[in-house]
Amino acid sequence: MDDIAAKLALALAGPDSAGNPPAAGRRSTAASRRRSEVTVHQLRVFWAIAHSETLTKAAKQLGLAQPSLSQQLSKLESTVGAQLFHRRSGEMVLTEAGSYLMPRAEHVLRGMREIEDGLSQYSAGKRMTVRIAGITSALRVILPAALRQVQDLHPAADYDIQESAPTDVLEMLYGRRIGVGLVAANSIAEAAVGFSQVPVVDDPYVLVVPARLNLDGIEDPARQLPAEDFALLNRSIQFIFGTQHAKRVEDWYDQMLPGHRVAAQCRSFELAVSLVRVGTGVCLAPALSTVMDGDVPDGLRLYRVDIEQRRIVALVPSQYRRLEPYSTLLDRLQQVGAETRLPAILPTPPFLDGTALSNPGQNHSVLQPMGRA
């Protein structure tokens, strides 16, 4: 390993203050050539593969064809004289040499980002485009007011904004196609390594039902609700996302409404809420997703439920926290988030509350609720 470490150190070493190569490089022309072949692009490829686990995902993040990505990795491994990944079925795992290289590559890439971003401040007379991607409710409810305030302080900036799923937001951040991602921290906690998380707002989950479905004080829906309303309660509209949090939501339906059937599956909470409004069924959704034009639309009731709330955060490369106009934007996002008024949420109906199920002699039509995640 000492020989590999020496090669990696030489490959990543820079010239001295006079522009001369390091001493080891002066003693070895071949080693100097090896060092000169390492490029920032190759280090970005290495970093992307390490954080994506597969070549396919890394290629998508960087916007490269997979053969080109593989070629860049092979060149880097040839340059440093060591295999950086174990190729296993369906995944790429860092070798000992790869683990040694990782923090050093991150240091180089962080320095390059700081140089590029810092120099952008000196582009006098040029407009800066701030690229933002995020989940729909955060972009629709939080972002507009924050951007309006930033415009007054940074009139030369313009904005490229796109609605995206959290996994796509991460890919765009890794590929440097955006500078700010607005996501629920719960859905990306392990994957967001390398980015600063700036808290914006906490967004509780609610059971969204049509206004005519009054669940106030209901302990046993099968006995207390009219047949038509009970059938409506057991038609679920579910948001398909594929995260662990989504699995907890699915478990909640199975435990709290064991007789339910899936009436519709959606790729956005906003669509699910719209379907509830017209009487298609009921859904679990974050409270912010029910807000339209600053208020909850008529035709809905929101009930509190025992599910971990979403923590909306802004994901940014660490140096953006100090770089304008990003720094101002992040501050304004936090300010708007703190001032955001959540819609009115009704108390949890007894049949969804564990305290109503404590009497084993009662014949309730639901199971014991989940504990907090």
The mean pLDDT value for 282-301 works out to 84
Backbone angles phi, psi at 23, to 5 degrees: -55, -45
Q: What mean pLDDT value characterizes the chain? A: 80
Q: Which of 205, 203, 230 is nearest to 215 (CA)?
A: 230
* Pairing status of strand 261-266 against strand 195-203: unpaired
Per-residue pLDDT for 327 more than 70? yes
- Contact between 349 and 225 (Cβ < 8 Å): no
- Contact between 136 and 289 (Cβ < 8 Å): yes
Give per-residue pLDDT as tens, 11-50: 555 544 444 545 544 444 454 444 557 888 888 888 888 8
The predicted pLDDT at position 233 comes to 96
Question: How far is residue 55 from each of residues 48, 49, 50, 177, 242, measured CA to CA in Å?
Answer: 9, 6, 9, 19, 21
Q: How many CB atoms lie within 10 A of CB 171?
A: 24
Per-residue pLDDT for 223 more than 60? yes
Give per-residue pLDDT as tens, 172-220: 887 778 999 999 988 776 555 678 899 999 999 999 999 999 999 999 9
CA-CA distance, 234 to 243, in Å (whole number)? Answer: 23
For the record, the structure tokens of 138 come out as 């955060």
For the record, the structure tokens of 319 come out as 């140096």
The kind and range of the H/E element at 105 are helix 96-119
Give per-residue pLDDT as tens, 55-83: 887 887 777 788 888 888 888 888 888 89
Q: How confident is the model at residue 2 (pLDDT cuts 50, 70, 90)?
A: low
Q: E strands within the chain? A: 85-88, 91-94, 128-134, 157-163, 180-184, 195-203, 205-210, 235-239, 261-266, 283-286, 300-304, 310-317
Amino acid residing at 255 = Q
The predicted pLDDT at position 366 comes to 37
The predicted pLDDT at position 114 comes to 66
- Which has the higher per-residue pLDDT, 88 or 276? 276
The predicted pLDDT at position 289 comes to 92
CA 196 to chain centre: 12
From-to residues of CATH 1.10.10.10 in the chain: 2-118
- Contact between 330 and 344 (Cβ < 8 Å): no
Q: How confident is the model at residue 131 (pLDDT cuts 50, 70, 90)?
A: very high
* Reported pTM: 0.67
The predicted pLDDT at position 123 comes to 56
From-to residues of CATH 3.40.190.10 in the chain: 129-203+311-339, 205-307+343-357
CA-CA distance, 312 to 306, in Å (whole number)? Answer: 18
The CATH fold assigned to 129-203+311-339 is: D-Maltodextrin-Binding Protein; domain 2 (3.40.190)
The one-character DSSP state at 110 is H
The CATH fold assigned to 205-307+343-357 is: D-Maltodextrin-Binding Protein; domain 2 (3.40.190)
Task: Rounding to the nearest 10 degrees, give the CA dihedral for residues 278, 282, 286, 292.
Answer: 10
Q: Which of 35-39, 112-116, 268-272 has the highest mean pLDDT?
A: 268-272
End-to-end Cα, the chain, rounded Å:
43
Sign (positive/negative) of CA torsion 182, 185, 188, 194? positive
Q: How confident is the model at residue 231 (pLDDT cuts 50, 70, 90)?
A: very high
The predicted pLDDT at position 172 comes to 84
The predicted pLDDT at position 347 comes to 95
Block residue for tokens 């970005």? 44
Backbone angles phi, psi at 164, to 5 degrees: -150, 155
The predicted pLDDT at position 278 comes to 94
- Which has the higher per-residue pLDDT, 333 or 45? 333
What CATH class is the domain 2-118?
A: mainly alpha
The predicted pLDDT at position 50 comes to 84
For the record, the structure tokens of 188 come out as 């990306």
The predicted pLDDT at position 33 comes to 47
- Contact between 279 and 198 (Cβ < 8 Å): no
Q: How confident is the model at residue 142 (pLDDT cuts 50, 70, 90)?
A: very high
The predicted pLDDT at position 272 comes to 93
The one-character DSSP state at 158 is E
CA 192 to chain centre: 7
Give per-residue pLDDT as tens, 144-156: 999 999 999 998 8
Give per-residue pLDDT as tens, 349-364: 999 985 433 333 333 3
Beta bridge partners of 279: none
CA-CA distance, 262 to 182, in Å (whole number)? Answer: 29
